[in-house]
Amino acid sequence: MGINYSEKIPNNVDISADRRLQRALEKWQPAYLDWWAEMGPTDFNTNEIYLRTAISVDRDGWADFGHVKMPDYRWGIFLTPNDKEKKIGFGDHEGEDVWQEVPGEHRNNLRRLIVTQADTEPASVEQQRLLGHTAPSLYDMRNLFQVNVEEGRHLWAMVYLLHSHFGKDGREEAEELLERRSGNPDHPRILSTFNDPVEDWLSFFCFTTFTDRDGKYQLLALAESGFDPLARTCRFMLTEEAHHMFVGQTGVNRVIKRACEVMTENPQKDIKEYGAIPLEIIQKYINRWASSSVDLFGSEVSSNAATFFAAGLKGRAYEEKNYQEHRALDQGFTIEEWDGNRLSNNEVPLRNAMNEVLRSDYHADNVKQTVLWNKATASFGIDFQFTIPHRRFNRRIGMYADGFFTPEGDPISEEEFNQNKTKWLPTEEDEAFVKSLMVKCHEPGKFAGWIAPPSKGINDQSVDFDYVRL
């Protein structure tokens, strides 16, 4: 299914057939470009970057690569093709036809879900806006910008839904999405992690590993939606998401590899003196970003989540493949409840635990991630195992936010937590050290000393290809 690139806004949904919608989107477009100029990557908007652009929504061969300037990137609206026979796969409406229009009684909830999803996309671009200046290579710089333009496109995907299905308030929400600012105390982005600074590349790689993976799971849940335009949009966003997590997990892996190389060359020495990042510091960054991203699944017990599921708005990841029963009625889910003093098992109705169900899948996927990283240390004969902190560790959202827990999940006193914090989470000194290594390396094929080169380039190009023309 091809994409129409002859229009001002590339799309495969025939927006020219709806003049009002087309006009509204064409009015939003310059506001978006102004936002990009002000809040997007600084200073590299006149350089040509080797970027992929979607040219079709087919699973194979959907992207085309070429050098483009970021502001000329063809941000557009691409939905996975319509399946006429599709039925709602879960909740009270299981088996009924999916909706092409927003059902009146679910309008507010749907709008809220779409706005929350949408808000994270520009937020991440804002968080990463200064990183181009300290890119450890042109290869990495290109990957950063690829992620940035695609998060911009994800915003377009959600704005299309707001404009085409929510009338005046949808258009107002679309404007608001360009007005909130990551980290701004008066007008912040909606969700917690998206207001945290991402000021160094180790944080960027952890963000794209753990926070983009939250994106993957939330999109999987929304791709099940009975509101078909949302489901189809999210399906296509998922194809783009895979690369973001690739950037993160291979990025962290290369930092680990470099640390191991320097450790091997300089046994018994502090590798900081050789400009590499100690494994213990990498683990602390993992602890920070994994715990922060776990908060993005919301409260353990949530009536919102129950409503979203019952109404058929948001399902579980791989609802059809992974579950036999799709109504989730008369079933329970055991939560390890924290009452402020102790943990006890408490069974709650499954629908109310949907946030926790999705968080469990997410956590298991994170744990799988460490296998690759631990292979890297093992291949150097270094005895160091990376771990994902327990879901109770360092929480700001949900019932565990009231307590203090070790990375293994054991309850401890506030005092004990504070005494050990420097072992578990990056200290100011760690941050200052990591930042001190962030100096640009802008020669094709060269890499900063704290990170190993990738095993291969992008789209079969060589590692020393001119990914960014400076």
DSSP secondary structure letters along 137-175: SHHHHHHHHHHHHHHHHHHHHHHHHHHHHSHHHHHHHHH
Contact status, residue 458 vs residue 467, Cβ threshold 8 Å: yes
Residue 56 phi, psi dihedral angles, 5° rounding: -160, 165
Which residues from 197-256 bind Fe ion, rule CB under 5 A? 212, 215, 241, 244
Q: In 33-129, which ranges are E strands?
A: 48-54, 63-69
Does position 180 interact with Fe ion (CB under 5 A)? The reply is no
Tell me which residue has its CB nearest to ligand BYC. Answer: 298
When the beta carbons of 121 and 200 are compared against ligand BYC, the nearer one is 121
Does position 355 interact with ligand BYC (CB under 6 A)? The reply is yes
Question: Can you tell me whether residue 357 is helix, strand or coil?
Answer: helix
Question: Can you tell me whether residue 428 is helix, strand or coil?
Answer: helix
Build a one-symbol-per-residue string for 277-296: x at contacts with ligand BYC by CB under 6 A, - elsewhere: ------------------xx
Contact status, residue 404 vs residue 415, Cβ threshold 8 Å: no
**Shortest spacing between CB 361 and ligand BYC, in angstroms:** 13
Q: Which does 247 bind (CB under 5 to 8 A by kind): Fe ion, ligand BYC, none?
A: none
Q: Which amino acid is at 287?
A: N
Does position 154 interact with Fe ion (CB under 5 A)? The reply is yes
Stretch that binds ligand BYC, among 7-15, 82-90, 158-166, 209-217 (CB under 6 A): 209-217
- Find residue 367's DSSP bridge partners: none
Instruction: Return the number of other C-beta atoms located less than 10 Å from residue 453's C-beta.
Output: 18
Q: Which does 397 bind (CB under 5 to 8 A by kind): ligand BYC, Fe ion, none?
A: ligand BYC
Does position 239 interact with ligand BYC (CB under 6 A)? The reply is no
When the beta carbons of 189 and 326 are compared against ligand BYC, the nearer one is 189
Task: Report the Cα 142 to chain-centroid distance in Å.
Answer: 18
| Tokens of residue 470, six digits | 């400076």
When the beta carbons of 121 and 431 are compared against ligand BYC, the nearer one is 121
**Shortest spacing between CB 151 and Fe ion, in angstroms:** 5
Does position 431 interact with Fe ion (CB under 5 A)? The reply is no
Contact status, residue 388 vs residue 289, Cβ threshold 8 Å: no
**Shortest spacing between CB 245 and Fe ion, in angstroms:** 8
| Calpha distance 128→294 (Å, rounded) | 20
Return residues touching ligand BYC (CB under 6 A): 113, 116-117, 120-121, 124, 151, 191-192, 211-212, 214-215, 218, 295-299, 302, 304-305, 314, 355, 397
Return residues touching Fe ion (CB under 5 A): 121, 151, 154, 212, 215, 241, 244
